A and B are shown apart, each in its own frame.
Chain A
Amino acid sequence: MGAYYDEIEIEDMAWDEVKGVYHYPCPCGDRFEISRKQLANCEDIATCPSCSLIIRVVYDPLDFEDESPDDEGSASQESEEDEEEDDNSDDDQFEDALEKLTLTEPSAVLVAAAAA
Chain B
Amino acid sequence: METQTSYLRLLAAGSNARGQLANGSDYDSHTFTECHFINCTQGTLPHNTLGILQLATGANHTLALLEFGDGRRELWGCGDGRKGQLGPEYMGQLTEFTPISIPLYQTYASQGYTCCLIAAAWETSYLVLKSPSRSNVVISMGSNDFGALGVGTKQATATPAVVSFDHLTIEGHSTNPDELVVESIAAGPRHVILHVRAGFNNEDTLIGWGLARHGQLGDTKIVNYDRPYIISLDVSSDPVQTCSLGLQHTIICHQSGRTTAFGSNKKGQLHRMDSWGRVRQVGCTWNGTYLLRDDDENTLISTGSNAHGQLGRESQVEENGVTVGPVEFTLSHDGKLPSLRSLACGSEHVMAVISPSGSSDMEVWGWGWNEHGNLGLDHMDDVLKPIKIWPARGHALEGRIARVWAGNGTSWILLQI
Contacts and interface: CB of A to CB of B under 8 A. Distances in A.
Interface string A37-81: 000000000000011110000000000000000000000011111
A77 B286 contact: no
A29 interface: yes
Contacts of B189: 25
Contact of B371 (A6, A12, A52): A52
A78 B247 CA distance: 17
Interface in B388-417: 407-410
Contacts of A30: 15, 17, 59-60
B363 interface: no
A82 interface: yes
11 contacts: A1-B307, A1-B318, A12-B190, A25-B189, A27-B369, A28-B409, A51-B371, A52-B371, A53-B371, A78-B226, A79-B226
Interface stretch (B139-147, B195-203, B324-332): B139-147
B65 to A, nearest CB: 21
B213 A12 contact: yes
Contact of A11 (B223, B317, B319): B223
Contacts of B249: none
Contact of A1 (B59, B223, B317): B317
A27 B286 CA distance: 8
Nearest to A25: B189
Contacts of A25: 59, 122, 189-190, 247, 408
Instruction: Tell me what chain A mostly uses at the interface: helix, strand, loop, or mixed.
Output: loop
Given A29-B409, A82-B223, 9 more contacts: A25-B59, A27-B286, A27-B348, A27-B369, A27-B408, A28-B408, A29-B410, A50-B15, A81-B223
Chain A to chain B: the 7 pairs with minimum beta-carbon distance, closest first: A27-B347, A28-B409, A79-B153, A29-B408, A14-B145, A27-B348, A29-B59
Interface of B: 15, 17-18, 20, 59-60, 122, 144-147, 153, 189-190, 211, 213, 223-224, 226, 247, 286-287, 307, 317-319, 346-348, 369, 371-372, 407-410
A94 interface: no
B59 A31 contact: yes
Contacts of B59: 25, 29-31
Given A27-B409, A28-B372, A29-B409, A78 B147 contact: yes
Interface string A79-99: 111100000000000000000
Contact of B211 (A1, A12, A28, A29): A12
Given A11-B223, A79-B224, A81-B223, A29 B15 contact: yes
A52 B380 CA distance: 11
* Of A27, A50, A77, A80, most B-chain CB atoms within 10 Å: A27
Contacts of A29: 15, 17-18, 20, 59-60, 407-410
Given A25-B247, A29-B60, A80 B307 contact: no
A78 B213 contact: no
A8 B409 CA distance: 20
Interface in A19-34: 25, 27-31
A83 B319 CA distance: 29
B103 to A, nearest CB: 24
B223 A80 contact: yes
Nearest to B347: A27
B408 A77 contact: no
A116 B395 CA distance: 71
B408 A80 contact: no
A48 to B, nearest CB: 10
Contacts of A27: 286, 346-348, 369, 408-409
A58 B17 CA distance: 28
Given A25-B247, A27-B369, A29-B59, A1 B319 contact: yes
Given A27-B286, A31-B59, A14 B146 contact: yes
Given A28-B371, A28-B372, A30-B17, A78 B409 contact: no
